Amino acid sequence: SKAIKQKMQASLDHLHQELKTVRTGRANAALVEGVEVVYYEQTMPIKALANITTPDAKTITIAPWDVNATAPIEKALRDNKNLQLNPLSDGKTIHIQLPPPTSERRQQLVKQVSEIAEEANISLRNIRHDGLKDIQKQLKDKEISENEFETYKKELDQLVQDFSEEVDRVADNKKQEVQEV
């Protein structure tokens, strides 16, 4: 059904968002844009406070719209243990040089990508389970025939398979990106 397909697409979209935050050897604004910063007693993502650019493949530059946000942004980046970044500030702009990840760090990142992909696949299986319960109830309540039930079940299984293959494809691409030196 359309609702199930939308839920599965939402899981896939979530996977894409999560994978954007996994660090590769290449500079990417998405890596830092969602990092939460405490600024004037409010918590907001960096992208709400600054312009983020990648002048080259190894550098991320963050230019806060308000100079007073520079120090809090720098602190938030430094305190983020997942990213392991070393931001440098000249008081106005923050520069981050991305060293290529060590082979050990790349292995951790590949594992992180696998875990994110597994969460997406679990989400797809849960959506399938809910959809199956739904059509079983329709069969029990005689709203659909045995044949319709079998048809819907096949469609549901095919949908899960298609989305699951897409999850694996997206995750494999990200793993390759992480492995690039």
Model confidence at 11, pLDDT cuts 50, 70, 90, reads very high
Q: What is the pLDDT of residue 40?
A: 92
Tokens of 73: 């942004």
Tell me: pLDDT of 118 over 90.
yes
Q: What is the pLDDT of residue 181?
A: 61
Tokens of 148: 């319709």
Mean pLDDT on 140-165: 94
Mean pLDDT (the chain, rounded): 91
Give the angle subtended at the CA of 13 by the CAs of 46 and 154, to the nearest 5°.
165
Tell me: pLDDT of 160 over 90.
yes
Mean pLDDT on 14-40: 86
Q: What is the pLDDT of residue 117?
A: 96
Quick one: which H or E segment has residue 42?
Answer: strand 42-45
pLDDT digits (tens, 9 = 90+) for 69-104: 999 999 999 998 878 888 999 989 999 998 777 888
How does strand 59-64 pair with strand 36-39? unpaired
Closest CA to 29 of 5, 7, 52: 52
The pTM for the full model equals 0.72
Tell me: pLDDT of 178 over 80.
yes
Longest dimension (CA), the chain: 71
3-state secondary structure of 61: strand
Mean pLDDT on 105-118: 92
Answer for the pair 30, 62: CB distance below 8 angstroms, yes or no. Answer: no
Model confidence at 106, pLDDT cuts 50, 70, 90, reads confident
Answer for the pair 131, 1: CB distance below 8 angstroms, yes or no. Answer: yes
Percent of the chain at pLDDT > 70 equals 99
Tell me: pLDDT of 165 over 90.
yes
